[in-house]
């Protein structure tokens, strides 16, 4: 099922997601619905916060063929190194892109949608995507890294767009 994506500056994007304690079929269904939503958008990553579900769940697929879905439940970065700056966009801030500095490589510890733990070393686009989506889980959107002036401009542009869409 395709879920509605919250758009910046919706205050619900600021909510901190709660850890998943019990792996029920609802978590697997949430991950599947989030993946369907992400592919339809189209995007390469989506956090549960963006669909107004405040649980620590993210999905991503950076493959060209869109056939390498990754699900991270309760993700945590246990190591980070280097720095890389790249242009980012976000499904919650459609049509806006800007440069953000992130760690170049990260090691993530998480569980899949069934509760099975795993660790993943990520670099490049995957590392950026992991950090970007994990930010959503703590109520942070990539525009929060920008200057207050740029952030205000984006908020104004988004509000105007939302008003026109009515």
C-alpha dihedral sign at 126, 132, 133, 137: positive
Per the omega criterion (within 30 degrees of 0), is the bond before 9 cis?
yes
Q: How far apart are CA 98 and CA 150, in angstroms?
A: 10
The predicted structure's pLDDT at residue 166: 75
Joined together, the tokens standing for residue 148 give 């207050």
List domains and CATH numbers for the chain: 11-165 (3.90.45.10)
The better pLDDT of the pair 12, 164 is held by: 12
Given a cut of 90, whether residue 154 has pLDDT beyond it is yes
Report pLDDT digits (tens) over 92-146: 999 999 999 999 999 999 999 999 999 999 999 999 999 999 999 999 999 999 9
Q: What is the pTM of this model?
A: 0.96
Give the active site residue among 85, 88, 119, 133: 133
DSSP, res 104: S
pLDDT of residue 138: 98
Per-residue pLDDT tens over the stretch 5-23: 999 999 999 999 999 999 9
Distance between CA atoms of 166 and 94, rounded to whole angstroms?
Answer: 16
Please report the pLDDT score of residue 162 as a whole number.
87
Catalytic residue list contains 123: no
Which long-range contacts link 25-30 to residues 24+ away (Cβ below 8 Å)? Answer: 27/55, 27/57, 27/73, 27/113, 27/114, 28/113, 28/114, 30/55, 30/57, 30/113
Structure tokens at 77: 């970065």
Residue 33 vs residues 53, 130, 161: alpha-carbon distances, Å = 12, 19, 26
Q: What confidence tens digit (pLDDT) does each residue in 23-49 have?
A: 999 999 999 999 999 999 999 999 999
Mean pLDDT for the chain?
A: 96
What's residue 165's pLDDT? 83
Q: Residue 101: its pLDDT value, please?
A: 96
């Amino acid at each position: 099922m395709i879920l509605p994506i919250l758009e910046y500056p919706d205050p619900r994007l600021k909510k901190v997601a709660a850890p998943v304690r019990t792996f029920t079929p609802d978590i697997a269904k949430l991950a599947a619905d989030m993946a369907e939503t992400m592919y339809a958008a189209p995007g390469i990553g989506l956090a549960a916060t963006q669909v107004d579900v405040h649980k620590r769940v993210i999905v991503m697929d950076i493959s060209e063929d869109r056939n390498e879905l990754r699900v991270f439940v309760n993700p945590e970065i246990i190591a980070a190194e280097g720095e890389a700056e790249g242009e980012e966009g976000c499904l919650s801030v459609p049509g806006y892109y800007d440069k953000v500095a992130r760690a170049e490589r990260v090691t993530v510890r998480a569980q899949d949608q069934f509760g099975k733990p795993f660790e993943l070393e990520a670099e490049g686009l995957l590392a950026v995507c992991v950090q970007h989506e994990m930010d959503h889980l703590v109520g942070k959107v990539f525009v929060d890294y920008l200057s207050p002036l740029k952030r205000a401009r984006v908020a104004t542009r988004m509000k105007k767009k939302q008003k026109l869409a009515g």
